[in-house]
Structure 1
Amino acid sequence: MGQNGTKQTPNPEPGDLIEISRPGYQHWAIYIGNGDVVHVTGNGLGLASSSPSSGSVSSGISTVKKEKLNIVVGVDHYCINNKYDRDYKPFPAKVIVERALSRVGQDFSYNILSNNCEHFVTDLRYKEPVSQQADRGVGAIVAAAVFSFWVLFSRQRQ
């Protein structure tokens, strides 16, 4: 079972969100059929790419690619995770696939907090670019800033 009770399956349907568990983060793609996905890949910048060993950086120019799901997943695990279906109405599968294919080959201005691979695929599926992964990152940054301010303030009072 994947996050949020999703199950791993070798048979995703066109339009499904594919969550790939990489070391330290999740990479996202959209399944378009015939074993293919569309996703954001890093042009050698180390972004969440088709290479399962690629790391992640905070921002850069990426490319939207169509690739085989098994190549993108590599040795990592994946699951179908249409987790936002309860919050947003997905487009019909045919529309999602058309929207995804229309982006192949385009540059993508990647930002880990505001425009990442999860934002990309949720925009294709729902026209709502959302990312819980990014929201958790923003929360961690805010918590670290508050803690740092508290430490500095405490030291100044002593």
Structure 2
Amino acid sequence: MARGDQIYVMREFMGLPGLYEHHGIDCGDGTVIHYRKTEVARISRTSMAEFAMGQPVYVKRYTTSYLPDVVIQRAESRIGESAYNLTTNNCEHFTTWCKTGVNESAQLRNFGLDAVRISLPGTDKLINEAIDSSSPAKSMELYRQALDNIASAESTLRPQYQHAQKEENTWHRVALAALKQGREELARAALYRKVQWKKTAADFKSQIDYLETLKAQLNRDSLPLRQTISSG
């Protein structure tokens, strides 16, 4: 480890040990800047011992990154911030931004918990609570609620997707009929409407596909919890 390194230790995830990476920036003087989670998660400078909590410390390597002094300056500029959000501004988002300038969390992509592309009211809060809970049974219940929110969003999107498809087909038929009648202006207007509805349908389809993928990943990632509960 060296000054300006992005470091991490393994922490509990959904009540199970050693499944979640907690990231920080090594200041090179025995201190670490990281999102310190007390009652309110806040970016703080703490001792290495407090950061590690008795766990091995690992270094996240990059082929290209800022110079150590720049990394430290970026980290120090955000000390005191309390805008933690699991899917958009967690400890890894913060440290990756300090190190590379990119605000991202690789582990959330692996867990299938990166920011959802459509609004799912309450789901982000449920996932945060599931991760923070020390009870596997409670975590599983919160995960089920998150899945219910996804199902609700999907049930709202599907009729809108079907309506957009119907409108696309309708304007396609109008354009063909207009061309047969030699009404080019009407045909162009109809084709414009068709293209707009096609884009709308594609957007709805993309969101539905993402929800399906997220749902499958959440089910897969909750498997250790189900196994823990069933064997308990």
TM-score (norm 1): 0.65
1:92 to 48, 64, 67: 67
1:111 deviation in Å?
2.0
1:57 maps to what in 2?
Answer: none
2:33 maps to what in 1?
Answer: 38
1:67 aligned onto 2:46: yes
The answer to whether the 8 A contact 2:27-2:72 is kept is yes
C-alpha distance in 2, partners of 1:29/1:135? 19
Report 1 or 2 for greater relative contact order, CA contacts < 8 Å, sequence distance ≥ 6.
Answer: 1
1:80 maps to what in 2?
Answer: 59
2:222 maps to what in 1?
Answer: none
Larger radius of gyration: 2
C-alpha distance in 2, partners of 1:118/1:147? 20
The answer to whether the 8 A contact 2:42-2:84 is kept is no
1:146 deviation in Å?
4.8
The C-alpha deviation readout for 1:36-88, integer Å capped at 9, x for no partner, is 1100122325xxxxxxxxxxxxxxxx211001112210222211122xx13xx
Contiguous gaps of at least 5 residues in structure 1: 1-11, 46-61, 149-158
C-alpha RMSD over aligned residues: 2.4
2:3 maps to what in 1?
Answer: 14
1:145 aligned onto 2:215: yes
Tell me the percent identity. 25
C-alpha distance in 2, partners of 1:79/1:44? 26
1:111 aligned onto 2:111: no
2:200 maps to what in 1?
Answer: none
Structure 2 vs 1, CA of residues 142 and 64 (structure 1 numbering), >3 Å: closer, same or farther?
farther
Which stretches of structure 1, 4 residues or longer, exceed 2 Å deviation after superposition?
137-148
C-alpha distance in 2, partners of 1:116/1:137? 14
Contiguous gaps of at least 5 residues in structure 2: 12-16, 115-210, 219-232
Q: Which has the higher strand share?
A: 1
TM-score (norm 2): 0.45
Q: Secondary structure at the match of 1:64?
A: strand
